[in-house]
Each structure stands twice: as structure tokens, then as C-alpha cells.
Amino acid sequence: MKRWGLIWFAAGSLGLTSFGFAHPPEYSAILSRAFIKSGSINPENHREFRLEESQQDVEVAKFCKQLGLQFGKFGWEADPCGAVKWQASIQTVEKRPLLYASFGKGKDVTLLLSAVHPNEVTPVPMGFRLARHLLAHPDLLKADQRVVIAPLINPDGFFVDKPIRTNARGVDPNRNFFTLDWYEKSLSWWQSGRNKNLAYFPGHFPNSEIETIFQVRLIDDFQPDKILSIHAPLGFLDYDGPGDQKPSTLTPTETQARMLAAAISKKANNYRVVDYSFYPGSLGNFAGNERHIPTVTLELKTTDPKKVDEYWGQFLPGMLGAIEYPFKKSVEAKLNTFKFYSHYEPLAIKPKDRT
């Protein structure tokens, strides 16, 4: 009898009895998916997200064909992948490969991330175009340089009738990084700063989403000297660190990092540079602020798909400038480049030199 009483009490405390669980009406949408779509990647299920090597080429080819059809809806190129040797060892919840390509073999590594929020639309073609451009112009890279491009971080959010900001599980991948302030600030910021807007939902746990872990693994395994992330539509370059939100007394490393943003701006017709705040769980916070990896966000001016050609012409010199900009890893960066997910070996990025 005591055992049954304990079970009844636990069920009642969780709101599972017929009396129901009282909660504000606006939480209904969240709670309705909390036990359906929500989850986290863990040692028991992470192999579900692994794309086996024997399947990679076939799945990438199939995905690129589907991607061309999706691009056609926006009036873009029919073959976005081109002849680039795209790689993918990780797949999403909806079994779409998470693409990346590597160019060059040098130790000066630039990482470009694009389309974390597919509803912003205009960044989607930029990474694909840069990859095709580097393939067509290998002389652009010096012997000591390497460029890694992940052009579509959130494909599940793109392959819908109207692209969305979140991934398939309703989580914003750019609020899901395990930053030091995530547990203290992430949910409270979402509740107050975004009025519980589900488009900005950071997840129930940090690092719960494969799109987040994909980015972490790229940082882990390629150890970039600098990161360029492309978003829209705020219309400026946002420098995310190190030294972000620091008004004075910058270290030589922080000064050099800020000059990276200035160099990109100069080659993009003096595009406005803004010292914008970073958020709990964001890439800028995780990589730029906490790991001292110079991180710049390029915010395109609009989400108008017809503007893509214009933006490509305007920002190609700036993207190439970011690649060319020499950046020596600081002592702080070297101390903070431990492999965050080294114990998740099945989700490691294992690049092949195929270009």
C-alpha cells in the first residue's frame, strides 16, 4: 500500500492525475511538445545522428539535388553544391546531412558558418557560393591557410514551405550553446526579453541540439583562428570577441581581433561595425567571449531573396579579406580550445582531404 501511495503522490505532483496541472495558458504550446519533441543528445542516442561513411556520398548527393529544387523556389541557382566535395558525418533529426567543405591544408584556419536561422533566407546561398568560388580559384589560398565552410547549419528549418528560425524540435540553435551563463540567464532572458516567443526558445538543456553540437565539433576538430557567421537582417558587422562589450584597455590580442572586423568592413564598402551584445547560449558568447576565438557576425541588410546577387557582390571581398587576415592564436585562445565534446567520439568530425 505504501508503494502505491508513493506512485500516486509522484504522479499527482507532476500533474498527471485527472485534476490536471495548473499553468499559465501561454505555456500550453511549450508543454505540449515538452514530452514529444524535446530531448537531448546523450551517450545512449548519439549514434542516431551519425552518418556512416558508407552512406555519406549517396546522402550528400541526394541532399544536394533536393537543395537545388528548394533554391529554385527563391529564384537562386539550380546547382548550389556544384563540384565541391562536400562532406557530412552528422545528420539532423529529420535525417538531413550537415554539410561542410574544407579548402587548403594550412594551420591558419577560418571557419565560416551560415544559415543558422533559415528564415533569414539571404545568408543561405552565401556559404555555397563561397565554396564554389574557392574551388574555382584555388590560388586565393596561401599555403598556410585553410578555410572550412558549413553553409547550411539548420537544413530542417529551411526545408519547409516557409523557412523557420528554429530547428525541427523547435529550438533556436544560436541560443543552445553551453555558455557559462546558460543556466543562470538563458530561460529567464527568453521569458522576459523575448516574451516567450517560441522562435527564440533556447531549449530545455544546453547543447541538446545536433545543429549546436555540429558547430561545436567543427570548432573542436578544426581549431579555427577566426570565425565568420552570416545572418540577416540587421545590416551591420557585429564583433563578438574577445574583448566584446569592453570599452577600453584592450589587450593586444583584443585589439588585433577588432581590427579583423574593421578589415572586413573596409572591403565591404565601409559596412557599419557595431559592438552588439551577445546572448546566453549564442555562438558569439561561446566562441568569441569564452574561448577568445575572434568571431564576427555579418548581418546582411534584408531577408529579400532577390537581393542575394547584390549581397554576394558586396561581401565577397570582405569574406576573402577575413580569410586573408593573419591571426595568431592568443595564449587565452590556446588555453580555451580543449575539445568540448571529446567524449562523444561518434560525433567527431573526421575530415578527408578531398579538395
**Res 40 pLDDT > 60:** yes
Strand ranges in the chain using DSSP code E only, listed in sequence order: 101-103, 108-114, 145-150, 226-231, 236-239, 273-274, 295-299
pLDDT at 45: 82
Q: Cα–chain-centroid distance for residue 192?
A: 24
pLDDT band at 16 (very low <50, low <70, confident <90, very high): very low
Question: CA of 246: how far to CAs of 66, 243, 276, 334, in Å?
Answer: 44, 5, 11, 21
**Res 32 pLDDT > 70:** no
Q: What is the pLDDT of residues 175-210, one digit of tens each?
A: 999 999 999 998 888 888 776 889 999 999 899 999
Rounding to the nearest 10 degrees, give the CA dihedral for residues 7, 9, 14, 20: 110
First CA to last CA across the chain, in angstroms? 68
Using CA atoms, how far apart are residues 84 and 106, in angstroms rounded to an integer? 19
Give CB contacts under 8 A, 24+ apart, made by 243-247: 244/275, 244/278, 244/284, 244/288, 244/289, 245/275, 245/277, 245/278
* This prediction's pTM: 0.84
Mean pLDDT of 316-341: 70
- Category of 55 on φ-ψ map: left (φ > 0), alpha (ψ -120 to 50) or beta: alpha
Instruction: Supply the mean pLDDT for the chain.
Output: 84
The helix (H) or strand (E) run that includes residue 285 is: none
pLDDT band at 4 (very low <50, low <70, confident <90, very high): very low
pLDDT band at 305 (very low <50, low <70, confident <90, very high): very high
**Res 244 pLDDT > 60:** no
pLDDT band at 336 (very low <50, low <70, confident <90, very high): low
- Category of 292 on φ-ψ map: left (φ > 0), alpha (ψ -120 to 50) or beta: left
Q: What is the pLDDT of residues 269-303, one digit of tens each?
A: 889 998 766 789 999 999 988 888 989 999 999 99
Q: What is the pLDDT of residues 117-150, one digit of tens each?
A: 999 999 999 999 999 999 999 999 999 999 999 9
